[in-house]
Structure 1
Amino acid sequence: MSVRASSSQLRHYAKLLNSNLHNLLKTMPKEKKHIPEAQKQRKRIKEKFSKYSPGKVTLQVLGSGAEGAPRSLYVFSDQSRYLFNCGEGTQRLAHEHKMKLAKLEHIFITQPTWANIGGLPGAALTIQDVGVPQITLHGPQGLQEIFIATRRFVVIKDLEICVAECNENTNFEDNVMKVKYVPISRNCSISSENGGENFSTSPIQEDDIDYYAHEHSGRRKSPPKISESSKLMLQEIKARGVSMAYICQLQPRPGALCLDKCVKFGVPPGPLLGKLKSGEDVTLAGGKVVKASDVCDPDDPGPVFIVLECPSEEYLDSLVENEAFKRHQSTATRDEDVAHTVIHFTPQRIMDHPKYKEWVERFTPSTHHVVLNETNTCMGSSAVHRIQHKLNLLSNSIFPLLGDHGTEMIIEQSVDPPQPKKIKPDSPALPIESLSVKSRPSSPLEHYIYTNTLFNYHLRPKKGCDKSVELKLAPSEFIEETMAVENFPQVLHEVTQQVGQKQRHLAIREFPKLLFLGTGSSIPNKTRNTSGMLLEIDENRVIVMDCGEGTFGQIVRFYGHDKAYEILSNIKAVYISHLHADHHLGLIGLLQGRRNALKALKLESQPLFLFAPKQIVWWLSFYDKCFESIREEFVLVPNGELFLNNHELDENLERKVLEALQMRDVSTCYVKHCPNAFGVSLTQRNGYKITYSGDTMPSDSLVELGQNSDLLIHEATMEDELAAEAVIKMHSTTSQAIEIGRRMNAKYTLLTHFSQRYAKLPRFNENFSENVGIAFDNMRVRLDELPLLPLLYPALKLMFAEYYEELEHKAAKRQLKIEREKEALQQN
């Protein structure tokens, strides 16, 4: 039987979507009721503090800009939050480090490139969910169009996105700071790979499919389309090139009242203290006049900090000749105008350019220069290392330690060294020698400050650098946490013995080899990233299967920089199962990362094969035409032209694909999820067959597609007791996924795409057998090692015992609630 989209099949699919059960579930209210109340609370807090200049303001590095990591600067006060640039992966780091996004109101973008805006769609979802009513984007014209372009797969309905008019004649001001916009323009007469291109006026056919229609109640408004004039405007902006710099100055703040001085001058408790605090002189009962200046610290006029990105040589003339910066350099006429710090998002090769060095030298020696670019090495997460060190105790082969060595590690000594005095976050400025910096003798400055995640630069109340909370890793602490679990050492010993015995009886070939880059659903958390897998066919061929946000960073983190470049250069194909954001939002970053790897290794640039629903072309073409050129990086292979037993792909293209991948067959089928959702089977020339479900409810077509697979990789979003919720979202439960593997006669079934409620471990049940395994982020398993995975279950349950007990407790409470509701119905 063919699994092609026949008319009978489509009728069956339509029947499913229009069944009474589905209509009932579809119309159930699913709005997040907490959002309106959170928005009201946020407005009340904002109104309360809007009249006061904050007493605490800090610049904090969230993403350092290291290869594979986002670059983003978080500015927080005791009232508001601001974000400068929002690269891919910002949302995940903000979640791990508990950034208070509920207070975020403004996002400033230097240049509309993926390195700066790739994290905007995901971050907006989180901002919306915590109840922020409105966010304002600042930067080059057209930034908001990224949200319109992604509206089919990133649903923003409770967050108003505003755009500030940013040019040399406008400014932004609130009770925290004043911001002057300084556009830096490209000199198009200087040749470059991006310079002077002609923008196309050909229309782009927009994708009108709502990929989340099955989850909505029907009350959702249809989002607006991008107008042709907006598309042309964006193409023109791309061709012209603008990078927005920001000169920021904190609002002045009166000096704090010193109570010790008040006592010394004999000021009694009461209303006189309030008058002095507000800067008013007072007269005491005996006639003595006490001046506010006598009992208050000096006023703080508000320090200046500058944020900028000079993307390439073409922008240097505009930067160094711009008069706006001179007021804050050595030529400043007032001390309070001198820049206290400059944040450089500029690439290192441009920072090393003589013109850029000369421009930096114009600042005073007191100006600090903080760098957020690819020279940094900290990728920003300790959580991924924590869980990998724990899992590594079970198997060094399946859970190898990560190749990312860019974050400082705390190594415990046998003899306790003297403990340095802890530095409080609001401590005075630290001497530059005490910072985690890299000396660069070739630089015009003695030092730039190269940073890790959570590096702080305090602007108020005291000014200075602070690395006391800068990210560090403590491997011994990670391991001790696990070994301290009751009975774990004994169970670990038993499990590792069993694994060793089993391993000796297996003939383990090096390839094929599967690395899980993301095993969570919907949005990333600190333990599970969104969907992504890397299949190594042999030492020269790699396929990436699904590509959630942060996939490129996961590759760099797992392999380390040099090995990652080798792997990236070997990627011959990417497979996208469907067009939900958690399955393809990392594609642009991966394409760019692969291009950079090929260039760095001096290899010929060749496009990869992109297996995907053909509708993806609209999004990729839009980004290519309006933001950055990526179209030459891939050749589309539509999933819908590879249906089982009925391939319609051009014969020459199919021959090239199979030869490049050393495959005998690549076939697809529709699965029961959103429109244009596919499953795929890959049959290699030496005989092995791997089937991947993508997101789906139990699907007969997938069973046929995957018959006699060596491995089925199937989504298992929900536990069995949440089957009704799985139907609403058109996903599978663990037992349903296992049953699909049994029906297709798969030798092994690997479960993935777990709801983030199962961040560490899913719930096991009686259907987990010796040929069923569960996937973790950064789990690398050879096909012949699959029999080892079930042996790890006892140790995994104990390793995460507290977490697993909580899952069981929640399940028991749900069951009690169901039983009570049944009893109530029977009594009625």
Structure 2
Amino acid sequence: MPKEKKHIPDAQKQRRKIKEKFSKYSPGKVALQVLGTGAEGAPRSLYVFSDQSRYLFNCGEGTQRLAHEHKMKLAKLEHIFITQPTWANLGGLPGAALTIQDVGVPEITLHGPEGLQEIFIATHRFIVIKDLEIRVVQCNEDTNFEDNVMKVKYVPITRSYDNSTVDLKGENSNGVQEQEDDIDYYAHEHSGRRKSPQIISESSKLLLQQTKAKGVSMAYICQLQPRPGALCLEKCVKFGVPPGPLLGKLKSGEDVTLASGNLVKASDVCDPDDPGPVFIVLECPSEEYLDSLVENEIFSKHQSTATRDEDVAHTVVHFTPQKIMDHPKYKQWIERFTPSTHHLVLNDSNTCMGSAAVHRIQYKLNLLSNDFFPLLGDKGTEIINVESSEPPQPKKIKPGSPSLPIENLSVKSRPTSPSDPKIYTNTLFNYHLRPKKACDRSLELKLVPSQFIEETMTTENFPQVLHEVTQQFAQKQRHMTIRDFPKLLFLGTGSSIPNKTRNTSGMLLEVDENRVIILDCGEGTFGQIIRFYGHDKAYQILSKTKAIYISHLHADHHLGLIGLLQGRRKALQKLNQECEPLYLFAPAQIMWWLDFYDKCFENIEEEFVLVPNGELLLNKHELDESLETKIFEELGMQDVSTCYVRHCPNAFGVCLTQQDGSKITYSGDTMPSENLVELGMNSSLLIHEATMEDELAAEAVVKMHSTTSQAIEVGRRMNAKYTLLTHFSQRYAKLPRFNENFSDNVGIAFDNMLVRLDELPLLPLLYPALKLMFVEYYEELEQKAAKRQMKIEREKQALQNN
């Protein structure tokens, strides 16, 4: 949800001053750093950083979240280079732009094939960019980019077959008229700085369709600007150079004569000049591009045929899929480079998904229950076993089935051999290009579970409280009958933008062993599924996914849809199953965005059949009766009904009635809603947003959200058997603030929490241990609340005195 950022103008002013100060100098430190490795479910993104500015090559879905966790200084980011305009490379652009805007970057420049600007125009209704100028440069064989850090040559790579006849699509397969969505989904939060929305012209759409048909992938040949060798003071002393202006002359490359008459050459006291190493970034998406790549003579200048040493490529960064890298033509092309050239691989052969924070909190929560909080199936990051000073309590105190032993979870990235020039990486791998060229794995992401557990187990009184809680848990569990289904997995429980511990909205409902429905789909939802289940189980889950429900058209609820549709298709293909479309329950207005993306970037409309939410309103279903019956049977549902809720335009709540009559109601984002109470009357479970704590009720009204107590009250009024709270503001990244309204039928959701419907009464038993587990964090929340209350009291007193 966009907020007023009063600091942005000042931050932008400061950034312009810094840029102007350093723009005349070539930086002394430059390195390539892997942010997203390209592992399945993870973004692929390469960060180039200097001591002056930053550059990003590709920005896959989830880049924003990793940048936040690893404290990337996006305030210095100025240029983003995209190899091919596919979701794998640009799915993270809208979210990253919001972060870049919020840290005060005044302008960002996009480099790549045609269409990058139009992505922002197409998403402007649900991605509010009002303080960031987005420039797109023309990239072709005849244009170059240059600044004080590096020079970049653009090298388009194209498909080899004839594209003279462009197949331009007509009406979309879902039968919805192509009309641009002109609704402002943030109208309730307008500010004076909001830009007037741009319109994508028909000529622009035609150009994008032609670019899509040509299939351009942009390669980048980059060379750092030359830098004079550094002055060595020890050598100056040896040659008798006195302190003073002579040192400056020598540093600038000028020879000097000392008072003694001795000539001191700059080359005698300075390190050799650095002409600037060359690195190449490229993606060869499929076999159809191989001829264009291997026959392009411009690369030969940087291979073993180079005529100058400084032209030889030091590093080649490959976003190319592993299947193509294994192709004989591609291997032969790599062999044309000198043995000294390093090849950095960012593709699906890597395994590191990039986040330690999600594992850290899951290891902690797993102490409470292995059923609710199983250890994650993502085993692609190396695990370090360290003996802790105080070993954690025995696992016998943990309810549920035992966890896998830590030593069985370690999987390292693909190793390299001396004969293999390719480097497969983890997140935070560095390759230093200046001042010294070196491969640096010291910061690569690793997991140390013993530390995660010790952080909690050494908290005062926690072992005792944990023992008491888990005893109660086990005792109550023995007297319960727990069916395997329905089962809910929370993929994202935060609001607005992703946080390192809470992703944006998403839930996965396993109706039975053969059917899955996904409720909302924030950025990174596909990655969350891979991370939780691991690849093999994730493919099975995705192959069973029959429907996706989107509650409303704010980005934090649907920006992960395209990636999920593509991930599901890939899973079906890997399992050799027929790629049947799923049902997409969503506001009808989503079709303009999806149709635009399908026509101008990648084919996605074959993956779904739209079922407009507005045609399933409670007691007013407008769907064809035979179609409705078919859909409900395929989903294992007795009924699916919606209602309008109090949020942005076309925001819906939904109630899913199972074959046994049990009801699961999901609010989406909303203020307390009478429609929702009626829709979900007598629900088995209400899943309701609880964005704000009670003391921020006024802010909740402005944002059109609910407080925790308001959400609980909605559940009470609809006579819901159980209420589960989610969609917490990121200020409650670990825990929301509890209050007296949290009864024994109210629970809170966490990312990667798996709960069966019959297990819900167990959740409140964990509250005492949760408060202690995050005691410092919770005390900080209470202190902030107390300060806020004191401020209110002072303001009241001041008004009375006046």
Q: What is the TM-score when the length of structure 2 is the normalising length?
A: 0.95
Q: Deviations over 1:67-102 (max 9, x none)?
A: 000000000000010000000000000000000000
Aligned to 2:407: none
Aligned to 2:687: 713
SS of residue in 2 equivalent to 1:535: strand
Aligned to 1:454: 428
Residue 582 of structure 1 aligns to which amino acid in structure 2? D
Q: Deviations over 1:644-667 (max 9, x none)?
A: 111111112211110111100100
Q: Output aligned runs, 1:522-561, within 5 Å.
A: 522-561=496-535
Give the distance between the partners of 2:237 and 2:624, measured in 1 at CA: 89
Residue 199 of structure 1 aligns to which amino acid in structure 2? L
Residue 200 of structure 1 aligns to which amino acid in structure 2? K
Give the distance between the partners of 1:305 and 1:210, measured in 2 at CA: 43
CA 1:768–1:636: 2 relative to 1, 3 Å: same
Paired residue for 1:747, among 721, 724, 728?
721
Paired residue for 1:306, among 258, 280, 283?
280
2:388·2:454 contact (CA, 8 Å) conserved in 1? no
Aligned to 2:169: 200
Give the distance between the partners of 1:220 and 1:549, measured in 2 at CA: 23
2:352·2:413 contact (CA, 8 Å) conserved in 1? no
SS of residue in 2 equivalent to 1:791: helix
SS of residue in 2 equivalent to 1:327: helix
Residue 62 of structure 1 aligns to which amino acid in structure 2? L
Q: Deviations over 1:656-687 (max 9, x none)?
A: 11011110010000000000000000000012
Aligned to 1:422: none
Give the distance between the partners of 1:73 and 1:682, measured in 2 at CA: 42
Q: C-alpha displacement at 1:381, in angstroms?
A: 0.1
Q: Deviations over 1:2-37 (max 9, x none)?
A: xxxxxxxxxxxxxxxxxxxxxxxx9xx963110000
Aligned to 1:438: 415
Paired residue for 1:645, among 611, 619, 622?
619
1:87·1:114 contact (CA, 8 Å) conserved in 2? yes
2:350·2:414 contact (CA, 8 Å) conserved in 1? no
Paired residue for 1:114, among 82, 87, 90?
87
Residue 235 of structure 1 aligns to which amino acid in structure 2? Q
SS of residue in 2 equivalent to 1:763: coil
Give the distance between the partners of 2:799 and 2:257, measured in 1 at CA: 76
Give the distance between the partners of 1:165 and 1:219, measured in 2 at CA: 28
SS of residue in 2 equivalent to 1:412: coil
2:130·2:193 contact (CA, 8 Å) conserved in 1? no
2:152 equivalent to 1:163: no
Q: Deviations over 1:396-425 (max 9, x none)?
A: 000000000000000125999xxxxxxxxx
Q: Deviations over 1:603-638 (max 9, x none)?
A: 011000000000000000000000000000000010
Paired residue for 1:817, among 773, 786, 791?
791
CA 1:196–1:544: 2 relative to 1, 3 Å: farther
Q: C-alpha displacement at 1:207, in angstroms?
A: 0.4
CA 1:415–1:753: 2 relative to 1, 3 Å: closer
Paired residue for 2:604, among 613, 619, 630?
630
2:249 equivalent to 1:275: yes
1:436·1:449 contact (CA, 8 Å) conserved in 2? no
Give the distance between the partners of 2:593 and 2:701, measured in 1 at CA: 28
Give the distance between the partners of 1:475 and 1:276, measured in 2 at CA: 53
Q: C-alpha displacement at 1:278, in angstroms?
A: 1.2
Give the distance between the partners of 2:706 and 2:413, measured in 1 at CA: 48
Give the distance between the partners of 2:389 and 2:684, measured in 1 at CA: 52
Give the distance between the partners of 2:101 and 2:389, measured in 1 at CA: 50
2:685 equivalent to 1:701: no
Q: Output aligned runs, 1:201-220, within 5 Å.
A: 204-217=178-191, 220=194
Q: Deviations over 1:249-302 (max 9, x none)?
A: 000000011111011111111222111111111222222221111110000000
2:72 equivalent to 1:99: yes
Give the distance between the partners of 1:415 and 1:774, measured in 2 at CA: 33
Paired residue for 1:250, among 196, 213, 224?
224
2:692·2:705 contact (CA, 8 Å) conserved in 1? yes
Q: Deviations over 1:86-141 (max 9, x none)?
A: 00000000000000000000000000000000000000000000000000000001
Give the distance between the partners of 1:37 and 1:219, measured in 2 at CA: 15
1:188·1:196 contact (CA, 8 Å) conserved in 2? no
Give the distance between the partners of 1:756 and 1:469, measured in 2 at CA: 27
Paired residue for 1:520, among 479, 494, 502?
494
Give the distance between the partners of 1:366 and 1:158, measured in 2 at CA: 44
Which region of structure 1 is more displaced relative to structure 2, 281-290 or 31-40?
A: 281-290
Q: C-alpha displacement at 1:395, in angstroms?
A: 0.2
Q: C-alpha displacement at 1:219, in angstroms?
A: 5.5
Q: C-alpha displacement at 1:222, in angstroms?
A: 2.2
2:185·2:649 contact (CA, 8 Å) conserved in 1? yes
Residue 41 of structure 1 aligns to which amino acid in structure 2? Q
2:550 equivalent to 1:576: yes
Residue 50 of structure 1 aligns to which amino acid in structure 2? S
Aligned to 2:402: none
Q: Output aligned runs, 1:177-188, within 5 Å.
A: 177-188=150-161
Q: C-alpha displacement at 1:216, in angstroms?
A: 1.0
Give the distance between the partners of 2:535 and 2:619, measured in 1 at CA: 41
Give the distance between the partners of 1:387 and 1:681, measured in 2 at CA: 31
Give the distance between the partners of 2:594 and 2:144, measured in 1 at CA: 34
Aligned to 1:475: 449
SS of residue in 2 equivalent to 1:768: coil
Give the distance between the partners of 1:436 and 1:406, measured in 2 at CA: 7
Aligned to 2:405: none
Q: C-alpha displacement at 1:201, in angstroms?
A: 5.8
Give the distance between the partners of 2:387 and 2:801, measured in 1 at CA: 67
Q: Deviations over 1:159-211 (max 9, x none)?
A: 00001110001100000000000000111259xxxx97612266831000000
1:518·1:530 contact (CA, 8 Å) conserved in 2? yes
SS of residue in 2 equivalent to 1:536: strand
Aligned to 2:24: 51
SS of residue in 2 equivalent to 1:390: helix
Flag structure 2 segments of 5+ consecutive residues without an equivalent. Answer: 172-176, 391-411
Q: Percent identity?
A: 83
Give the distance between the partners of 1:252 and 1:210, measured in 2 at CA: 49
Q: Deviations over 1:224-265 (max 9, x none)?
A: 111111111101110111000000000000001111101111
Residue 167 of structure 2 aligns to which amino acid in structure 1? N
* Structure 1 segments (4+ residues) deviating >6 Å: none
Q: C-alpha displacement at 1:439, in angstroms?
A: 4.5
Aligned to 1:804: 778
Aligned to 1:134: 107
Give the distance between the partners of 1:720 and 1:362, measured in 2 at CA: 65
1:196·1:240 contact (CA, 8 Å) conserved in 2? no
SS of residue in 2 equivalent to 1:438: coil
SS of residue in 2 equivalent to 1:810: helix
Paired residue for 1:151, among 101, 105, 124?
124
Give the distance between the partners of 1:247 and 1:293, measured in 2 at CA: 30
2:413·2:424 contact (CA, 8 Å) conserved in 1? yes
Aligned to 1:673: 647
1:667·1:682 contact (CA, 8 Å) conserved in 2? yes
1:438·1:447 contact (CA, 8 Å) conserved in 2? no
Flag structure 1 segments of 5+ consecutive residues without an equivalent. Answer: 1-25, 417-434
Q: C-alpha displacement at 1:49, in angstroms?
A: 0.6
1:437·1:448 contact (CA, 8 Å) conserved in 2? no
Give the distance between the partners of 1:482 and 1:415, measured in 2 at CA: 13
Give the distance between the partners of 1:798 and 1:30, measured in 2 at CA: 32
SS of residue in 2 equivalent to 1:811: helix
2:388·2:451 contact (CA, 8 Å) conserved in 1? no
Aligned to 2:8: 35
Aligned to 2:731: 757
Which region of structure 1 is more displaced relative to structure 2, 344-353 or 651-660?
A: 651-660
CA 1:30–1:59: 2 relative to 1, 3 Å: closer
Aligned to 1:428: none
Give the distance between the partners of 2:534 and 2:246, measured in 1 at CA: 63
